[in-house]
Amino acid sequence: MSKLERMSPLGRGISATAYSSEFVSLRQQTFFGVAKVIVRKSDLLGSPELEALLGVRAPQMANTVVQGSGVEIAWAAPNQWLLLGDEAEVARICAAAQTAFRDETALVLQLTHAYAVFQIEKTGARDVLASLCPLDLHPRAFAPGRCAQSLLGDAGVFIQQCNEAPSFRLMVDQTYAGYAWRLLSEACKSLSSS
Amino acid sequence: MSGFRLEKGGRIDRSRPLSFTFEGVSYEGYAGDTLGSALMANGVSMLGRSFKYHRPRGLLAAGLDEPNAIMQLEDGAQARPNVKATGVELYDGLRAAPVNAWPSLSFDLLSVNSMFARFIPAAFYYKTFMWPHWSLFEPAIRRAAGLGVSPEASDEDIYDKRYAACDVLVVGGGPAGLQAAQAASRSGARVMLVDHDAQWGGSLMASNRHVGQDPADDWIGRVVEELRAAPETQLLNRTLAFGFYDHGLVGLCERLTDHLPLAERSGPRLRFWKVRAKSVILATGAIERPLVFPNNDRPGVMLAGAGATYAARYAAAPGRRAVFAVNNDSGYESAAVLRRLGVDIAAIADARPGLSAKGAQMAASGINVFTASTITNVRGGKKVRAAELHKLDDDGQAVKGSAALVECDTVLTSGGWSPVVHLYSQAGGKLRFDEQIQAFVPRECGQHVLCVGAAGGEFSLTQGLADAARAGAAAARDCGFDAADIEPATVDGEAFGNIRPIWQVDVSGLAGERGKAWLDFQNDVTSDDVALAIRENFKSVEHVKRYTTLGMASDQGKTSNVNGIGVMEGALGKPMAQVGTTTFRPPYDPIEIGAFAGRRVGENIAPLRPLAAEDAHEMLGARFEDYGGWRRPAFYAQDGEDEHAAVRREALAVRDGVGLFEASPLGKIEVAGADAREFLNRFYVNNMATLKPQRCRYGVMLDENGVVLDDGVLACLGPNRYLAGTTSGHAALIADNMDEWLQCEWPDLDVVVQEVTTNWAVMNVNGPRARDLLRKFDCSIDLAAEAFPHMHVREGEIEGVACRIQRVSFSGELSYEVAVPWGFGASFWAALMDAGREFGVSPFGVETLMALRVEKGFLHVGADTDGMTLPQDIGFGGVISRKAADFIGRRSTMRPDSLRDDRRQFVGLECLDGSAKPLTVGAHVLLPESAPPALTQGWVTSSVYSAALGKPVALGMVANGRERIGEEVKIWDRGVSRRARISAPGAYDPEGKRLHV
Amino acid sequence: MFLQEPKDLTRHYSAASLLREGFNKQKGWAPAWRDAAPKAEYDAVIIGGGGHGLATAYYLAKEFGMTRIAVLEKGWIGGGNTGRNTTVIRSNYFFPESAAFYDFSLKLYEGLTRDLNYNIMFSQRGMWNIAHDRHGVEMLHRAVNAMLLNGVDAELHDGAEVKRRIPILSDAPRYPVMAGLLQKRGGTARHDAIAWGYARAADMRGVDIVQNCEVTGFDIVDGAVTGVRTTRGDIKTGKVALAVAGNTSVLAELAGFRLPIISYALQACVSEPVKPVLDTVLLSISHGVYISQSDKGELVIGSAIDLYPSYAQRGNLPVMEHTAAGVVDLFPRFSRMRFLRQWAGIVDVMHDSTPVVGLSPVKGLYLNCGWGTGGFKAIPGAGFCYAHTIAKNEPHPLTAPFSLKRFETGALIDEAAGAGIAH
Amino acid sequence: MLQISCPYCGARAEIEFRCGGQAHLERPGPHDQVSDRQWAEYLFYRDNPKGVSLERWVHRFGCRQWFNVARSTLTHEILAVYGMGEQPPQLEGTKR
Ligand SMILES: Cc1cc2nc3c(=O)[nH]c(=O)nc-3n(C[C@H](O)[C@H](O)[C@H](O)COP(=O)(O)OP(=O)(O)OC[C@H]3O[C@@H](n4cnc5c(N)ncnc54)[C@H](O)[C@@H]3O)c2cc1C
Ligand SMILES: NC(=O)c1ccc[n+]([C@@H]2O[C@H](COP(=O)([O-])OP(=O)(O)OC[C@H]3O[C@@H](n4cnc5c(N)ncnc54)[C@H](O)[C@@H]3O)[C@@H](O)[C@H]2O)c1
Ligand SMILES: Cc1cc2nc3c(=O)[nH]c(=O)nc-3n(C[C@H](O)[C@H](O)[C@H](O)COP(=O)(O)O)c2cc1C
Ligand SMILES: [Zn+2]
């Protein structure tokens, strides 16, 4: 019997998983590690264990991301963070955190499979996002190091600005991957045609 | 009107001729024309028929205030009903037709209505058509009503949307708007400037003015250039601000392709903007009011400013010889424009007693200016032939015997100007009546919005520009920018006299019938109608509106509302300020329904979520359906099977061998913490306090009103760690509820919660051979009956992948629910199908699952229950009474009505007529003797043909059903009755022997 | 004294009177109702000059002989929800209590034009409630049978038949039309005519209709009402009847009690008028949209409520965007039609979307409220039953189940749960 | 469309939120000592003020946190945002 194989969220129905034009490029980022850390008590977040694991103190400022050792840590809610990065690295940290928090009220969950991840970049990226998402992503209001949860069409989304180019990372529930892809790629096309 | 094209001038591009058709006849216009100006240039004077009397109508205005020239554009998927000719940019190949005229504009049969006009006053329909019955008249009335025709083909266009945020939004790109935007923009603030026009400059485009030293055009060009170059400033032309909503949100509609020839259109047609502005400046200008006098609706009678606009901007003159009738100075400016462009000014009748400075200038230049005079009638039917002018006495009544008949082919009137305060008012802004300009002007508003220029009631351009410059800078400062005041442009030669309000030319002293005087041209509302409404006690401005339909047409009374209020002032003897306005509502000008829908069309309306192994299901012949937003196989059809045959086959496969079902959408919520047990015990009806690690328990959840909300299996994964299962459609709802209770009601509980539904794909292996099949996999979990009994949960690995297995069953057979990380779902399904081949594994769909659970008498929340079902109705009375602790909804289960013993209860229903046909879900349960009308005893909630039992089985909710088991009832479906017996739910394997294997 | 008999020739409406006035330059029409000034005392005072208040006054005078009564309206009659609703009239209710009441109301509507001598343009063009999935179809089955057992006309048709009868429905909607429940007697009526027709008929029976008269307080002695305070003076009366829809909580607070009501803004809109294209009323619960075409030609589109309490009588964008999507999915050709006007009304929503017509905690103070998004169709029926309640000081049997008590006993009449329609 | 300031994420569009109704309701208990009347009051009876309304909202498509809002039901103006469990600020027109 063969080993089980992995499939990415855009595995079916969508013929292309990348779109590129002069103004904007869009692609799916597959096999990207995502985990969530939820602790009940806020002092846990400052715990040396957590900091040691992450290589950095988890961000306390709402809607910000910090670079840890190997993973990025994004604020998701009070006492909740997303760990983002290489799948294996995320898995390793998760396992360690689970052990560290064994006796605490905490959830450390790998959610790699729950998300579809897209990367959208170039000068038109903001316009494409603005056609689907109510966030103000103007450079004065949003910048690299910032993240937010909001809506993309009618689906929830996590948005992170990765650099000035600009490049944005989008994460939606993977069952909305097709929907998000459709909306995003159509918006990309409309951008080039008008 | 005998309009014509001027030899030179205008903002049209004579090097780009465009051809178009109107009512099938071809014409030529130029780039830069509107359909309205092109028709005028071609001398087409009659553009439409009025709504009620079918009177011939021509252009009144040059903008979105136009009430008459309503067109049907194009056809098929491109059709556009009811567009205003004045708002359509001409493009090559445009095809337009008039609306509401049959068989043709010039010969319209329903124009007989106009002969009966005296018998069909305002609101006549409330007084007649009662005998014998309204339904006999309604069809004819309906056919006569309506303007254009709804498109017949589906819309193929794309409608884009855009959110935007800015510091200062300036609406209106006339002089005031440009000036305000410039002032704000220089501060570096994020500025948006929008205008629905294709070109910038607003009324300046049609004026003789200089701004500062420069011709207006140069000034406009310079400012626009500066704004374009400003990095944080965005200019949107062809963009209408249609609505002002809460908290600074303004809706815009940008027309991207409507101005292009059909063949050149691509990409989205419209873009619907939702702009959140910290501060809004409305520089929307003012709308000129027509004078109200007999036959003022004749083609060729126009607004003075519109006449000037056509000539100056479009090089289309409204006629060769014009008579002006005015009551304020602006008409002189319009007259000057027309005169400069070669139109003969036959006379100007000015209602004001003395000559104003402007009037004197005019008179001095040789134009016939009649003071204290006005127009009292128009001669000519489909065209203007002459104007009748009369002197006015001090009370504003036309003086008998003072008549002058002046030949002309166009009449241009100005009854004053009304600031465009629509958006301001939508924002919650209050208005006041300004005596000086005889118009409603902005007073105060709770939102950050300011009107400048004519929109603010400031008709002096010099002053308007100064105000605008100040407002622009101040708005930027409010947003935290260091905005310097800029030196506003100034304008010479402005002189403003007063205005003499004559809301309706009083011809009562003159001899002879003169005909009606129109207020609302499109809806055919005359001043007599308003008077009648008031006589009948419809005195509130809102009553007058509704009784006469004044202002309810597709122009929303832009040219008529204020005149109407003026007429009411006269009739009520109450000042206009007290009469007040009707409510301004969005949209400012009609907006396509498709633009509101945007991309929420087709499959994007409510995205269907796919299963992990969707491809495989498809290949296996799945018939997909929408189950609560998930795209799931209802069943798999083999070799042309129908649903019944497929479900029967699949069900038997599960009962006799093994079936495979993808259950990935099942809700999964992780709950952890020292108080998790306590929390869950409060959440479920069932006692969850005793649930041990590695065990599962079925549970029911209520809302606070006691209604069964959801059910599912709660699994205890370890000390202080649980996995709560929910029904597929309810996962998010239950997770939300948990959050709400924890954060709002029980913040002291030491618990954390996270929904993980879509992280795990779930494959349900179901049937007596389920264990045999799973044993073919390399799995770290011991599947033996003793090691892993029913209602237990295990975590481990399968084929090297993390898995979670629960032994739970909706079929009553041996069953494993195996969860693997979603991305492995498809591969796992394939492997299961592969491994199952030797056991004859059959995939099965949701409908088969339903059949299996109905055979077993298992409840399906939402199908068997509804928004009234309490736990005791579905047999949880005992569970409740054995539980001491409170739980959500518990108190509601103790109310008197909850304790009634004739409540509908969950039971089985056994068919007694020997037919194989299942009962109809939704059929009602009646006493055997009763016939309708009858009191229902309940209804069938689930019903299938049971292949295993060889007969139909059904479930239902029946009044006091549990006590009535064994009783015969009648199952009634739209007149057809069948015999049935109330039974205990669960006809198949009632002892549950097959489960514990 | 005002005319007691509606048949008086100077006030009777007919083709003949139109002809007469045509020759008379329309000078002979009497006021549709008098502009009454409030008197110091009345036998009963009705607060709220919407359809409910005016109908109540009419039936009080006509059926129960009470004529020393006044309707107090803070603005202009018919300016509340009666004048801003989408005018759908039907009796396709699930529970026997609701069906009996609403069908009674529908029957009154059927004779109302003649009864009031005012053409209310009741157009029984049929009302469709369509289902888009299996569960929806099952619910329609349940509902059609409930209606028939309740003695109300109803037909159930499959998707193909619905499409055959309404050919302009989409060929390939996101939400397939799988079945439709038709009540042929359902339809629409002219909203304003209901208010004006009742006002005129009540006035002819001597009722004082007082506009621009806001009730600002109550005189309550020993738990019984003795009068109301208004912006136009105090009025003595032993019977006060609330009929103020979305404002009920505000008046209840003035009288010292709370109610199980939340006020929301319910939105509606009309398109520009076009020639006849839709000759029935169609409701899709899944889309949260209902649509009909008025006699004047506009598409009249009912939308949803903004889901937070509001008295602003102003609509919001997100709901309209959803509504438009529903309209386009059902009727792709309407995508190019244009919204002409969007507005909202403040509706008084009770948990079970069933009203209260009956007694309040204060003696002599009566309640008619909780109609939420669906009380237009109830106007004649509720007017009649409410008049009975006021005259006899006890609920009419048809509205007796619609009492406040049910919130304590739990005997809710939850139409949303029963028929899937929350009004 | 309202703009609501989530205490954690800042100003966001209404569509990211859900209104949970009147704030500061107290759940009566224990269940066997609550009268039908008390229970009905808790479940169904509401202040429903025309003016300042104290209500709870959740940042549904954001940080999923609940918080309280003082909002005018007449103008929709938001006068204050404060945490769950906090007392409402003193505002003109507020009841209680
Ligand atoms: C958009 C919309 C669509 C609807 N669609 C339908 C439909 O299709 N079918 C249907 O059956 N129902 C519908 N409804 C519901 C229906 O309109 C209402 O239930 C019904 O009109 C209520 O009538 P009413 O007379 O009780 O209230 P209203 O007509 O609102 O009258 C109440 C009156 O009380 C006055 N008032 C308030 N406070 C005071 C005071 N203190 N003093 C004096 N007067 C006061 C108000 O000014 C108002 O005129 C809809 C409602 C809306 C808003
Ligand atoms: N003499 C008089 O009595 C009199 C009266 C009125 C106006 N005026 C003159 O008119 C000029 C007024 O200049 P102004 O800048 O205030 O107004 P304007 O009329 O020049 O410009 C208004 C602009 O706003 C745009 N607009 C209006 N509503 C809009 C909407 N909803 N969305 C997008 N765009 C919209 C229009 O297309 C127009 O371009 C001045 O020159 C003034 O002297 C004179
Ligand atoms: C059934 C119905 C049809 C309507 N038709 C029109 C119409 O043709 N034109 C129009 O301007 N408004 C129409 N309206 C809307 C009214 O103008 C008005 O907006 C509504 O009654 C609410 O009142 P308000 O906007 O004054 O608050 C209609 C309203 C209803 C209820
Ligand atoms: Zn937040």
Instruction: Give how far the C-alpha of residue C147 lies from the chain's centroid of Cα atoms, to the nearest Å.
Output: 21
B49 phi, psi to nearest 5 deg: -125, 150
Superfamily of the domain at C34-119+190-260+352-419: FAD/NAD(P)-binding domain (3.50.50.60)
Write the DSSP symbol of residue B343: -
Nearest-CA distance A55 → chain B (Å): 24
Residue C315, pLDDT score: 87
Q: Does residue A28 register a pLDDT over 90?
A: yes
Report the interhelical angle of B175-185 vs B216-229 (nearest 10°): 30
Could C31 and B922 be called an inter-chain contact, meaning their C-beta atoms sit closer than 8 Å? no
B190 phi, psi to nearest 5 deg: -80, 115
C416 pLDDT tier (thresholds 50, 70, 90): confident
Q: Is A119 helix (H, G, I), strand (E, B) or coil?
A: strand
Cα dist from B713 to B627, B726, B795, B869, C148, whole Å: 20, 7, 16, 20, 39
Q: CA torsion angle for B605, B609, B613, B615 (degrees, to 10)?
A: 10
Q: Is A82 helix (H, G, I), strand (E, B) or coil?
A: strand
Phi-psi region of A8 (alpha: psi -120 to 50; beta: other; left: phi over 0): beta
Structure tokens at B282: 């409305």
Q: Tell me if C123 sits within 8 A of C280, measured CB to CB.
A: no
- Parallel, antiparallel, or unpaired for β C262-271 and C299-309? antiparallel
Residue C97, pLDDT score: 96
Question: How many alpha carbons fall within 13 Å on the CB side of residue B474?
Answer: 13
Question: Is some CB atom of chain D closer than 8 A to the CB atom of B895?
Answer: yes
Question: Minimum-distance ligand to the CA of C270?
Answer: 3
Q: Give the separation between CA B278 and CA B169, rounded to whole angstroms.
A: 8
Q: Give the separation between CA C247 and CA C216, rounded to whole angstroms.
A: 12
Q: Does residue C5 register a pLDDT over 60?
A: no
Cα dist from D77 to B247, D46, D53, whole Å: 7, 20, 10
Q: Tell me if B593 sits within 8 A of C274, measured CB to CB.
A: no
Q: Give the separation between CA C17 and CA C44, rounded to whole angstroms.
A: 34
Q: Is B382 helix (H, G, I), strand (E, B) or coil?
A: coil
Could B739 and D2 be called an inter-chain contact, meaning their C-beta atoms sit closer than 8 Å? no
B587 phi, psi to nearest 5 deg: -85, 155
Q: Is C263 helix (H, G, I), strand (E, B) or coil?
A: strand
Q: Which residues of D, range 3-42, sit inside 8 Å of B by Cβ?
A: 3, 13, 20, 27-32, 34, 36, 39
DSSP B124-167: GGGTS--SS-HHHHHHHHHHHS-SB---SSPP---EEEEEEEEE
Residue B743, pLDDT score: 97
Show the domains of chain A with their CATH numbers: 19-30+114-193 (3.30.1360.120), 32-112 (3.30.70.1520)
Task: Verify whether ligand 2 is closer than 6 Å to residue B459 (CB atom).
Answer: yes
Q: Which residue of A has its CA nearest to D8?
A: A62
How many cross-chain Cβ pairs, A to B, lie less than 8 Å apart? 149
Residue A193, pLDDT score: 64
A31 pLDDT tier (thresholds 50, 70, 90): confident
Instruction: Give bridge partners of residue B98 from the DSSP assignment.
Output: B71
Could D36 and C308 be called an inter-chain contact, meaning their C-beta atoms sit closer than 8 Å? no
Task: Verify whether ligand 2 is closer than 6 Å to residue B195 (CB atom).
Answer: yes
Q: Does residue D94 register a pLDDT over 70?
A: no
Report the amino acid identity of residue B367. I
- SS3 for A123-155 is CCHHHHHHCCCCCCCCCCCCCCCEEEEEEECCE
Q: Tell me if A159 sits within 8 A of A170, measured CB to CB.
A: yes
Q: Is the peptide bond before C6 cis (omega within 30 degrees of 0)?
A: no
Q: Give the separation between CA B342 and CA C419, rounded to whole angstroms.
A: 71
Residue A11, pLDDT score: 72
Cα dist from B328 to B116, B291, B395, C263, whole Å: 36, 11, 17, 48
Question: Is some CB atom of chain C closer than 8 A to the CB atom of D90?
Answer: no
Q: Give the separation between CA C413 and CA C406, rounded to whole angstroms.
A: 8
- pLDDT mean across residues, chain A: 92
Question: Is some CB atom of chain C closer than 8 A to the CB atom of B829?
Answer: no
Q: Which residues of A touch D65 (CB under 8 A)?
A: 77-78
* Residue range C398-409: mean pLDDT, rounded: 97
Domain B1-153 sits in CATH 3.40.720.10: no
Structure tokens at B813: 């057979």
Residue C8, pLDDT score: 59
Task: Verify whether ligand 3 is closer than 6 Å to residue C290 (CB atom).
Answer: no
Q: Which residues of chain B have pLDDT under 70?
A: 1
Could C247 and D19 be called an inter-chain contact, meaning their C-beta atoms sit closer than 8 Å? no
Instruction: Give how far the C-alpha of residue C222 lies from the chain's centroid of Cα atoms, to the nearest Å.
Output: 34
Please list, in sequence order, all residues whose beta carbon lies within 8 angstroms of the beta carbon of residue A102, skipping any fewer than 6 positions away. Answer: none
pLDDT digit string, tens, across residues C148-157: 999 999 999 9
Q: How many CB atoms sit inside 10 A of residue A55's CB?
A: 14
Instruction: Give how far the C-alpha of residue B838 lies from the chain's centroid of Cα atoms, to the nearest Å.
Output: 56
Instruction: Give bridge partners of residue D12 from the DSSP assignment.
Output: D4
Instruction: Give bridge partners of residue A155 from the DSSP assignment.
Output: A152
Superfamily of the domain at D3-83: Folate-binding superfamily (3.30.2270.10)
Residue B141, pLDDT score: 93
* Residue range C94-108: mean pLDDT, rounded: 97
Q: Which residues of B, range 252-281, sit inside 8 Å of C by Cβ?
A: 274
* Residue range C40-50: mean pLDDT, rounded: 98
State which of B333, B459, B585 you would mutate to test the pocket of ligand 2, scoring each by most atoms of that ligand within 8 A of its C-beta. Answer: B459
B729 or C421, which is more confident?
A: B729
Residue ranges near ligand 4 (ion) with Cβ within 5 Å: D 6, 8-9, 59, 62-63
Question: Is some CB atom of chain C closer than 8 A to the CB atom of B635?
Answer: no
Name the CATH architecture for the domain at B159-286+419-478: 3-Layer(bba) Sandwich (3.50)
Residue whose pair of structure tokens reads 């910090």 in the numeric block: A66
Mutation for testing the A interface, residue in B256, B259, B266, B609 having most A CBs under 10 Å: B609
Phi-psi region of B503 (alpha: psi -120 to 50; beta: other; left: phi over 0): alpha
B571 phi, psi to nearest 5 deg: -75, -30
Q: Is the peptide bond before B719 cis (omega within 30 degrees of 0)?
A: no
A2 pLDDT tier (thresholds 50, 70, 90): very low
Report the amino acid identity of residue A23. F
pTM of the model: 0.97
* Residue range C232-248: mean pLDDT, rounded: 98
pLDDT digit string, tens, across residues A123-132: 999 999 999 9
For residue C251, report the distance from its CA to the centre of ligand 3, in Å.
27
Q: Tell me if A189 sits within 8 A of A145, measured CB to CB.
A: no
Residue B512, pLDDT score: 85
Phi-psi region of B12 (alpha: psi -120 to 50; beta: other; left: phi over 0): beta
Q: Is the CA virtual torsion A96, A100, A101, A103 positive or negative? A: positive
Q: Is B629 helix (H, G, I), strand (E, B) or coil?
A: coil
Task: Verify whether ligand 2 is closer than 6 Å to residue B771 (CB atom).
Answer: no
Name the nearest CA neighbour of C70 among C81, C83, C82, C61.
C61
C422 pLDDT tier (thresholds 50, 70, 90): low
DSSP B634-702: EEE--TT--HHHHHHHHHHHHHHS-EEEE-TTSEEEEEESTTHHHHHHHHBSS--TTPPTTBEEEEEEE
C313 phi, psi to nearest 5 deg: 50, 40
Residue B789, pLDDT score: 97
Q: What angle do CA C319, C320, C326 make, to 5 degrees?
A: 95
Q: Where are the domains of chain B?
A: 1-153, 159-286+419-478, 516-574, 900-996
Q: Where are the alpha helices (DSSP H) in C168-308?
A: 191-204, 248-255
Q: Tell me if D25 sits within 8 A of D42, measured CB to CB.
A: yes
B194: enclosing H helix or E strand: strand B191-194
- pLDDT mean across residues, chain C: 95
Q: Does residue A38 register a pLDDT over 80?
A: yes
Q: Is the peptide bond before D7 cis (omega within 30 degrees of 0)?
A: no
DSSP B214-242: EEHHHHHHHHHHHHHH-TTEEEESSEEEE
Could C309 and D74 be called an inter-chain contact, meaning their C-beta atoms sit closer than 8 Å? no
In this complex, the residue of C249, C253, C307 whose CB is nearest that of residue D19 is C307
- Parallel, antiparallel, or unpaired for β B904-911 and B976-983? antiparallel
Task: Verify whether ligand 2 is closer than 6 Å to residue B202 (CB atom).
Answer: yes
Specify the residue with its C-alpha closest to ligand 1, atom 8: C88
Superfamily of the domain at C127-185+263-350: D-Amino Acid Oxidase, subunit A, domain 2 (3.30.9.10)
Out of 2.40.128.90, 2.40.30.110, 3.30.830.10, 3.40.50.450, the CATH code matching B900-996 is 2.40.30.110
C423 pLDDT tier (thresholds 50, 70, 90): low
